[in-house]
Amino acid sequence: MAKIGIIGAGGRMGRAIAAAAADAGAKVSGGIDRPGTRPDALGDVPLLADAASLAAVSDVMVDFSSPAALAAHLDAAIAAGTPIVIGTTGLEPAHHALIDEAAKSVAVLQAFNTSLGVNLLAHLVRETAARLGTDWDIEIVEMHHRHKVDAPSGTGILLGQAAATGREVALADVAVRGRDGITGARPEGAIGFAVLRGGSVAGDHQVVFAGEGERLELGHRAESRAIFARGAVKAALWLAGRAPGRYTMNDVLGL
Ligand SMILES: NC(=O)C1=CN([C@@H]2O[C@H](COP(=O)(O)OP(=O)(O)OC[C@H]3O[C@@H](n4cnc5c(N)ncnc54)[C@H](OP(=O)(O)O)[C@@H]3O)[C@@H](O)[C@H]2O)C=CC1
Ligand SMILES: O=C(O)C1=N[C@H](C(=O)O)C[C@H](O)C1
């Protein structure tokens, strides 16, 4: 079975992925965190010096760390020819451009959410948005634990993109990312985002289609981050040995 290298090994997701890999009988080649911040090992996972060292000993890497480090991680994947799963959120258009470029020479799977439920939900949201007119207002509500540093969540954006695709519009043209003060009435066709942070919530997402006199709500609740970790391991094992290209969880899950 493919050896998995974990970028962000000491983080909440890194540790969950090591546990999920063990449950799946997959081998973890090692991990990295921010350079200079960790001891030699985390349990059974040896910590290496940098992404290049990790890529050299791995058949595939999973990156759940920080957008700031993405470029270095992609460079290491390209140099070693080691496929990489990117689960990090908070990505800007420039990061997506880097991923597109890297995918010309190595297999890259980028997923804002690696769970089966959320990826199926995205299909349902796209289909619903396509069938309902713009007189149905779309609002996306998400809640996460108090430690989360980016907003809206990557999954919220994924669901917003699904809704925008269903309506055949660009999300950037219709997104309303937060409201405060005298905002004026809601523009028809807007896709709104509302963000809650607190406690230990693993990840709740709700897409509300609000019509005149009725509301349709589609949602997903992660009961623990184990679902993301299982999906990440599944994606890594699927990606190892693949030809260069940019892949998604839809490819892995056959959705
Ligand atoms: N796609 C999905 O399904 C999911 C995605 N996520 C995303 O994964 C990311 C991580 O989440 P989470 O584990 O909760 O966050 P944590 O803060 O717990 O972990 C982040 C890890 O990344 C490490 N890190 C930070 N900067 C670098 C760097 N420059 N090089 C290498 N490692 C680095 C941190 O190391 P140090 O401690 O030394 O700073 C830490 O180990 C977030 O973007 C989150 O939104 C989370 C859950 C599911
Ligand atoms: O930071 C998290 O925890 C999560 N981040 C991802 C996101 O931003 O969508 C996925 C999941 O919701 C948990």
- In the CATH scheme, what is the homologous superfamily, with its name and number, of domain 3-114+225-253? NAD(P)-binding Rossmann-like Domain (3.40.50.720)
Percent of the chain with pLDDT over 90: 94
Q: How far apart are the first and last CA of the chain?
A: 24
119 Cβ below 6 A of ligand 1:
no
Question: Rounded to two decimals, what is the model's pTM?
Answer: 0.97
| 175-177 and 204-210 strand pairing | unpaired
Can you give the pLDDT at residue 37?
66
Using CA atoms, how far residue 210 sits from 33, 111, 175, 188, 215, in Å, is: 43, 28, 16, 12, 4
H or E stretch covering 167: helix 154-167
Is 215 annotated for ligand binding? no
Q: Identify the nearest ligand to the CA of 203 by its number.
A: 2
What is the SS3 assignment for 245?
Answer: strand
Catalytic entry in 3, 73, 95, 148 = 148
Overall residue count recorded for the chain in this entry: 255
3-state secondary structure of 166: helix
Of the two residues 38 and 96, the one the predictor is more confident about is 96
How is domain 116-221 classified at the CATH fold level?
A: Dihydrodipicolinate Reductase; domain 2 (3.30.360)
The rounded Å distance from CA 131 to ligand 2 centre is: 28
144 C-beta closer than 6 A to ligand 2: yes
Q: What is the pLDDT of residues 68-77, one digit of tens each?
A: 999 999 999 9
Write out pLDDT tens, residues 203-216: 999 999 999 999 99
Domain borders along the chain are 3-114+225-253, 116-221
- The strand pairing partners of 87, in sequence order, are none
